[in-house]
Amino acid sequence: MSIKFGFYLFPQLTQLDFAGPFEVFSHVPGGEVHLVAKTLEPVAADTGLKLTPTTTFEDCPQLDVLCVPGGPYVDYLFDDQPTLEFLRRQAAGARYVTSVCTGSLILGAAGLLKGYKATTHWTSVDMLADFGAIPCTDRVVIDRDRATGGGVTAGIDFALTLTAELVGERVAKMIQLATEYNPAPPFESGHPSVAEEEIVGAVSMLMSERLERRRAQAAKHRELA
């Protein structure tokens, strides 16, 4: 029995949001991975890396697992009707509707997280409430048929957790070992709960402009949530 995974690719996505889960899901027995975009033209990630879609919105088969990565400019998609309609259409028949990082905000804009617990990048967790979601700070959150991962690197944790739900813990552990996912970060600085205050402030300042823009766009959806 095949499991159809599908990643939505859009301009300026963060490629590691996609690449980590893609690597994991590609090893799932019976897994069939689709890269979905509006057209088949290469999609440039926020670092310039070009990704090649394998199918379009119109031709995409019904997915078992719909996954939306994040990126620095996700707010530009909050009112992008072709995107939102595609996500709603696929969500209606998907076994799991999922995201990594700020991809959860796109799901929220499509109305797919109302009443669900969800997580996202630490800078944007509070914005989930604007879309009717229940914000959580866990690295991976599964609430019924919704699964969301935290920022960027959490995508691997998310994918392994979901793999265990789909095909069992043993297979997930085998994939973890095969990919030698054995994190040993050089610094205790991967989350504001453990990072130095000065580092948190510096990163927040660097991201302040995009966060202000994103927060303003999310707030527009508050009355609709």
**Which residues on neighbouring strands pair with residue 56, listed in sequence order?**
37
Please say if 101 is a catalytic residue.
yes
What stretch of H or E contains 163?
helix 154-167
Cα angle 56, 60, 63 (rounded to 5 degrees) comes to 140
Mode of pairing for the β-strands spanning 43-44 and 31-37: unpaired
Mind spelling out the 3-state secondary structure of 36-103?
EECCCCCEECCCCCEECCCEECCCCCCCCEEEECCCCCHHHHCCCHHHHHHHHHHHCCCCEEEEECCH
Among residues 126, 123, 140, the alpha carbon closest in space to that of 211 is found at 123
Structure tokens given for 127: 């914005």
**Which residues on neighbouring strands pair with residue 197, listed in sequence order?**
none
Q: Which residues contact 103 (CB under 8 A, 6 or more apart)?
A: 8, 17, 67, 68, 69, 70, 74, 120, 148
Residue 158: strand, helix, or coil = helix
Task: Give the catalytic positions in this structure.
Answer: 101
